[in-house]
Chain A
């Protein structure tokens, strides 16, 4: 019995740790996309965050400084993207792809001296009393702060978009930048802020990878999670609640293949890693059948440059 519950707890813990970086990266991208900006550079920003966070934490010995450095690195890349697409009006798709390639290369270069260095990882925070509960305690209440932070962030973003005035303005800009401009809202500034927020979240997701998930630096360690995060935003039809569910589902799928192998069920790993994308395509097909649902939540102006002319 106790072996079974231990096993369950272990599976649960690995799912949570696999889902958390997806939650961060995807919620950031959701906010960016809600403003009408499609940033395909999530993977690159994650890697920049991962290498910067790890390096600063290693040198300074401070996990906090490391996390801040990771966030900063993600924002820095997002800033480049924002300048190119919002000020110079370059294509968002091409610029985002370039940003990913840039991030992969830059992080590999910066990470050269860090390979093989061990890091103790972020400390877990045990919530008093609750952490001592059997099964639930270790599963839910003994995590590092980033895990709690990711859940809180999704909640905050959800409330922000739905109930606050800046959230309404953000959605308005994503829906029709021309109308927002006509009413006097600063379209470019809103999009800058949303893009930077997306960068910060991607950087944070990277930090989680290099400082908690697998506390070390390995080249290209995000391993396609940035792309899964992008798919996740569509999968969730731009709704934070569904995004959280999707992140745990996708995280669960990626981690279950390992456990499946451990207990001898042989599912080809390639098949499992395809699943998030297949699920996204299926969801896209389903929601596309109902124009209303797409139009209600999808930012109508996504990917389009905004010219404040005339």
Chain B
């Protein structure tokens, strides 16, 4: 009823026939988009479908080649973000527009064109507590995790009391509880009359949150749908153009060999705002996928560093790779023992932005894939290896010589994951495998992780995306404040249980379903742990 009324009223914003061409590609081709006050509207599409271009045009960062924009019924020309903000448009960027060396307070002040003073500080604290997005205004941004950084962006927008709020994949780093809180916030904003343009590839979220969805594919608007009336599959089909095969849960029978073992690992970081790891125990067996859940900034970075070898332990026995003490050896040495890692940050950590894909492939694969001959790097073998990764993982690029920085986030992630998988590791550790990656690429990555585990590789996935962990992992645990919870069989825990674990709570063992299975698994885990310990003492 109310929807009927809204659609006849003057729309808040109407974009008509928007076209934008880049050399060699038509990013937007006569796209229409209409938004009403008090409506949450989804913008759906794969990477490269033209979502970002459309949003940038609306936010004044880009000028359309053709088409018009009406704001509250009047034609407007949006030439700059400042002008967009003046109209009442706020944007949470997908790639954060933050300044690392400045404080949270200064970052927010810059985004709002107000002075960075005590008044703003108290407003930040007020808004962030009201919406359950805790922030310390005096912290330097470079000390914050990805998830915390995103909170800054969201709070910055909320502070501007916008008429139109654009959110580009806002939930990818939040816990289920935080997502629920955010949705409460968004619905409240909607009820207050704010229009929200919500960009996400999580179709379930869109179904629960949005009243209308515009679907883009290849720069064109293919449909405007009511998400409630569509199934997840039909929305995905509209978005991808053809039915995609979404991976399903697989039951696996893990082997008995413990491939990676962490025993009582503690690590006090020297980083100012790092999280010390405290007594971490974990056994990863061949042929299983173990998921590590947790909100950013709970020790994931340190956890990854300890495993990859960027940080060495003082005791070699703290980390064992198929029984071999490996706690004190370098990342390259660990790689030789079969451990391949993919860190969270793609550019600058997993790949050198200004180097070609071939060079980037060589950097980690030179030993395992034999890319060195006679002490020199073999360009031919490196190129063939790189081509293999590109073809196997369907990486969109201009060949092996393209720079890592020139690839889109999703494609680069496929390349990096592929580069490690092609080295056929016996232990594969990956952090945030599908962060910012579209549904198609995410499905491909998930499938390759499952295939690896089926082939006997021990796979460890650190992620904040619980849907992902619930889908692919056989066993699951959570990191909270540098401590690792017990490890549970994934099918025995609900997503709510997991949320509790991530908050540091212990799952109530009086819950029959959980206690049975978890108990069974616990004993299983402890057996293998004690077996490992026995090995160590022997």
Contacts and interface: CB of A to CB of B under 8 A. Distances in A.
Interface of A: 165, 168-169, 171-172, 175-176, 178-180, 182-185, 291-292, 295-300, 310
Contacts of B60: 184
Contacts of A176: 97-100
Interface string B73-89: 00000001110010000
Contacts of A295: 100-101, 140, 142
B109 A171 contact: no
Given A168-B106, A176-B99, A292-B143, A182 B62 contact: no
Contacts of A296: 101, 140, 142
A171 B111 CA distance: 14
A168 B109 contact: yes
A154 to B, nearest CB: 21
A91 to B, nearest CB: 14
A169 B102 CA distance: 11
A172 B107 CA distance: 8
In the A-B complex, the 7 residue pairs with the smallest Cβ-Cβ separation, listed nearest first, are A184-B81, A179-B97, A182-B97, A175-B99, A184-B82, A175-B101, A172-B99
A182 B110 contact: no
Contacts of B100: 175-176, 295, 300
24 contacts: A165-B109, A165-B115, A168-B106, A168-B110, A171-B99, A171-B101, A171-B106, A172-B106, A176-B97, A176-B98, A179-B99, A180-B99, A180-B110, A183-B111, A184-B80, A184-B81, A184-B85, A185-B110, A292-B140, A292-B143, A292-B271, A299-B101, A300-B101, A310-B62
B350 interface: no
Interface of B: 22, 56, 60-62, 80-82, 85, 93, 96-102, 106, 109-111, 115-116, 140, 142-143, 271-272
B118 to A, nearest CB: 13
Contacts of B143: 292
Contacts of A172: 99, 102, 106, 110
A115 to B, nearest CB: 47
Contacts of A182: 61, 81, 93, 97
Nearest to B96: A179
Nearest to A294: B101
Determine chain B's interface SS by DSSP, over half rule: loop
B297 to A, nearest CB: 16
Nearest to A291: B271
Contacts of A184: 60-61, 80-82, 85
A118 to B, nearest CB: 49
Given A183-B111, A184-B80, A184-B81, A168 B102 contact: yes
Contacts of B101: 171, 175, 295-300
Contact of A179 (B22, B98, B271, B272): B98
A166 to B, nearest CB: 11
Given A168-B116, A184-B81, A292-B143, 10 more contacts: A171-B102, A172-B106, A175-B101, A176-B100, A182-B61, A291-B271, A292-B140, A295-B101, A299-B101, A300-B100
Nearest to A297: B101
Nearest to B141: A175
Nearest to B84: A184
A297 to B, nearest CB: 7
A178 B82 CA distance: 16
Contacts of B272: 292
Contacts of A297: 101
A292 B272 CA distance: 7
A264 B493 CA distance: 83
A307 to B, nearest CB: 12
Contacts of B80: 184
B400 to A, nearest CB: 24
Contacts of B142: 292, 295-296
Contacts of A179: 96-99
A167 to B, nearest CB: 10
Residue among B85, B110, B116 with the highest chain A CB neighbour number at 10 A = B110
Nearest to B81: A184
A176 B98 CA distance: 8
B140 A183 contact: no
A54 B142 CA distance: 47
A183 B96 CA distance: 11
A310 B61 CA distance: 8
B102 A183 contact: no
Residue among B62, B93, B102, B106 with the highest chain A CB neighbour number at 10 A = B102
A59 B100 CA distance: 51
A296 to B, nearest CB: 6
Nearest to B110: A172
Given A292-B271, A292-B272, A298-B101, A183 B110 contact: yes
Contacts of A292: 140, 142-143, 271-272
A305 to B, nearest CB: 13
Nearest to A176: B99
A36 B82 CA distance: 23
Contacts of A178: 97
Contacts of A169: 110
Nearest to B142: A295
Nearest to B112: A183
Contacts of A310: 22, 56, 62
Contacts of B98: 176, 179
Contacts of A299: 101
Nearest to A295: B142
Nearest to B52: A310
A235 B431 CA distance: 38
A179 B116 CA distance: 18
A176 B141 CA distance: 12
Contacts of A183: 81, 97, 110-111
Contacts of B93: 182
A92 to B, nearest CB: 16
Contacts of A175: 99-102
B354 to A, nearest CB: 11
Contacts of A180: 99, 110
Contacts of B82: 184
A183 to B, nearest CB: 6
Nearest to A169: B110
A233 to B, nearest CB: 16
A303 B140 CA distance: 23
Nearest to A309: B22
A171 B115 CA distance: 14
A298 B56 CA distance: 30
Nearest to B117: A163
Nearest to A173: B99
A185 B272 CA distance: 31
Contacts of B85: 184
A185 B112 CA distance: 12
B30 to A, nearest CB: 20
A178 B93 CA distance: 12
A26 B81 CA distance: 35
A184 B84 CA distance: 10
Residue among B60, B101, B110, B142 with the highest chain A CB neighbour number at 10 A = B101
Contacts of A298: 101
Residue among B60, B81, B97, B115 with the highest chain A CB neighbour number at 10 A = B97
B120 to A, nearest CB: 12
